[in-house]
Amino acid sequence: MAINKRLKPALFRAIGICAGLVAGVASFASNADEAWFEEFKSTADDRDLYRFLYALPKGGDLHNHLTGSNFSEWWYQLATNKKLNGGYEYYTRVRINNCVGYGQDMFGLAPYLMYFRNLQASSYQALSDCEKGEYKKIDALNGREKAAWLDSLRLDKKHEGREEFFQTHWQRLNELGRNPYINAEMLVKNMQAFAREGLTYLETMEGTRFYTRVDGSTFAPDEVADIFRKRLAEPDALATGVTARMQYYLLRFIGNAEEDLEWIYRFVDANRDLFVGVNMVGREDNDKGHPQRFLPTLRKLRRDIPGVPLSIHAGEVDEPNHHVRDTLLLGATRIGHGVNLISDPDTMLLMRNSDYLVEINLISNLLLNYVDDYSQHPFPEYLRMGIPVALSTDDRGMWDSNMTDEYFVAVKEFNLSWAELTSLARNSLAHSFVDEATKQKLLQDYDTRLAGFKKRFQRSGMAGLGDLVPRSHSFICKQYQLCEFSTPLMAAN
- From 171, 198, 216, the end of a domain falls on 171
Same domain, 245 and 264: yes
pLDDT digits (tens, 9 = 90+) for 323-358: 999 999 999 999 999 999 999 999 999 999 999 999
162 occurs within a structural domain: yes
35 occurs within a structural domain: no
Cα(299)–Cα(331) distance, rounded to whole angstroms?
A: 9
pLDDT at 476: 76
Same domain, 226 and 324: yes
pLDDT at 480: 81
Same domain, 200 and 267: yes
Position 261 pLDDT exceeds 90: yes
Position 437 pLDDT exceeds 50: yes
Question: For residues 350 and 485, which has the higher predicted lDDT (pLDDT)?
Answer: 350
pLDDT digits (tens, 9 = 90+) for 401-424: 999 999 999 999 999 999 999 999
109 occurs within a structural domain: yes
pLDDT at 376: 97
Same domain, 248 and 293: yes
Same domain, 317 and 372: yes
103 occurs within a structural domain: yes
pLDDT at 491: 37
pLDDT at 116: 97
Q: DSSP 3-state assignment of 68?
A: helix
pLDDT band at 12 (very low <50, low <70, confident <90, very high): very low
Same domain, 154 and 210: no
pLDDT at 220: 98
* C-alpha pair distances (Å), 94 with each of 126, 135, 157: 18, 6, 20
Average pLDDT, the chain: 89
Same domain, 243 and 349: yes
Write down the pTM of the prediction. Answer: 0.90
- From 113, 138, 171, the end of a domain falls on 171
pLDDT at 1: 39
Same domain, 141 and 185: no
Q: Which of 107-116, 208-217, 458-467 has the lowest mean pLDDT?
A: 107-116
Position 168 pLDDT exceeds 80: yes
pLDDT at 108: 46
Q: What is the mean pLDDT of residues 378-396?
A: 98
pLDDT at 475: 72
Count structural domains, the chain. Answer: 2
450 occurs within a structural domain: yes
412 occurs within a structural domain: yes
Q: How many residues does the chain have?
A: 493
HSE, side-chain direction, 13 A CA sphere, residue 462: 11
Same domain, 210 and 128: no
Same domain, 377 and 330: yes
Is residue 99 within 8 A of residue 91, CB to CB? The reply is no
**Listed residue (144, 139, 142, 215) closest to 175, CA to CA:** 215
Same domain, 293 and 418: yes
* C-alpha pair distances (Å), 32 with each of 25, 325, 458, 460: 10, 39, 13, 19
CATH number of the domain to which 316 belongs? 3.20.20.140
Same domain, 347 and 410: yes
282 occurs within a structural domain: yes
- From 155, 171, 187, the end of a domain falls on 171
Cα(210)–Cα(214) distance, rounded to whole angstroms?
A: 13
Q: What is the mean pLDDT of residues 68-94?
A: 97
**213 is in which domain, residue-wise?**
49-71+179-456
- State which H helix or E strand residue 14 sits in: helix 8-43
pLDDT at 481: 72
Cα(278)–Cα(248) distance, rounded to whole angstroms?
A: 5
pLDDT at 159: 87
R_g over Cα of the chain: 25
- β-partners of residue 359 are 336, 390
Q: DSSP 3-state assignment of 29?
A: helix
pLDDT digits (tens, 9 = 90+) for 353-385: 999 999 999 999 999 999 999 999 999 999 999
308 occurs within a structural domain: yes
Position 474 pLDDT exceeds 50: yes
Question: 265: Cβ–Cβ under 8 A, 6 or more apart, which residues?
Answer: 278, 298, 301, 305, 308
